[in-house]
Structure 1
Amino acid sequence: MDAYLRAVGSGALSLYGAQDGYWQNLDDASWADLREKLQHPRSASIHLANDSADENRYEFEYRGRRLKPLPWDKDASGYVSKVSFWLPTEYLEQHGPGRVRELALELAAPLPFSSGHAGLSFNGHVPSGAEEQFHEMSMRYPGMDLPDPGLLSMEIGTRVKGVRWLNFLGQPVLGELGGAAGLRARLHSPGTTVQELEGERVVVTLGPSPDAGDTEQGRTLPAYQELAHVLEPWLYRAEPRRSLLESP
């Protein structure tokens, strides 16, 4: 979180999601409380954002893995902790993709991740009732990510959410691919690089900058398709959700 704030400025985040479900202004006392939660997490849930009413420009979100399943949980094997960092496209345009990649590597370095990614994303969370529309848009723009659903960290386990510009892979997936050398041998698209990181981890970079693609314009992102094909056995597939109003 501190590395992110150094990059975007301490004033980029001004609100936090309180336990009552409302946004509250960040002050010295709330910052101290949030840092305490991160230093001694017990399935901490932290959501920080900018104060724009029109768009989500900067966000930091951490969902800690529950130490014990809830009484009604049937299976807790997919529980993981997750963290996400948001930047506006203006940051990419001003500082360039090289700086964004450096920041992503700095943020990832201390994290014991199984997987992660960085790239372009639709702005904000998918509103209820608009899932089909956003799904169609994501099919047209294969380089664009859909923001994580709230239950993702309770389901994904060690699987990989998808393929984007920067793709961070750790264990066990990287080991099952034969390590960095085994993964590198399977990727042949121009501009694709596999960089080894400490702790038996890698970052796969697909080209010099993020690309949304556009299937209607013939921009199908073959490098993204190649990596998706390699990772197919480990990709996360969300289960269809039933409405609470539906009968069992």
Structure 2
Amino acid sequence: MANPEGNPFPAEQRLEQRLGPVLRRRDQVQAGTTDQRLLDTEGDSQWVHTDPWRVMRIQSEFVEGFGALAELPSAISVFGSARTPAGTPEYEAGVRIGRALVDAGFAVITGGGPGAMEAANRGAREGNGVSVGLGIELPFEQGLNPHVDIGINFRYFFVRKTMFVKYAQGFVVLPGGLGTLDELFEALTLVQTGKVTRFPIVLFGTEYWGGLVNWLRDTVIAQGKASEKDLLLFHVTDDVDEAIALVTKEAGR
């Protein structure tokens, strides 16, 4: 169990269990440990960079993700910018959304980072719900925020995206950047093509998302690149209660 000296968080937040790439904290800690190590010998190490080995590593990420998340209750994935400062209206909205989702009976899944992701995880944790963070290996290390109870760090974006969709019944999308847009349009494409069904998508922040919605309607749809009905694939709101009602109602609650 990790209990580093100088940890700024209270003692009850420090209880951790690491199972390979999976991080569990507080009441999500399980009995026992899983110690998996790759035994290597000295010599040529180029084999670890070949495509067949990468396939095995990709497979292991799917296995770890499925194993860690298979017993989650119904969940909603919440996306948003890692650059959203704490204390701002956007951050506080994320906290309220996370708390409200837990009150509605859902676990909360985020990218596990700071900003809007931290806000939603914080709301879930303060509501005594299940707070999940799915991190990603990046050149600049962010780490999982302290409000994550079940955390997994992935090497591959596409494995991580699968987990966001497979273990969630819907998405709430707070204002965000390119990563948030990537996750949003991935979900929209899956719904549009029928790869997933009954999957509500709610965009929170009419002012922020208004320009994107106008572009979709006035350019993409106007030029025949999408259908008018595609605007029905998502909802836009500024109201936390409405966002929760939309995402949970369509998710089957």
TM-score using structure 2 length: 0.28
- Greater share of residues in helix: 2
TM-score using structure 1 length: 0.29
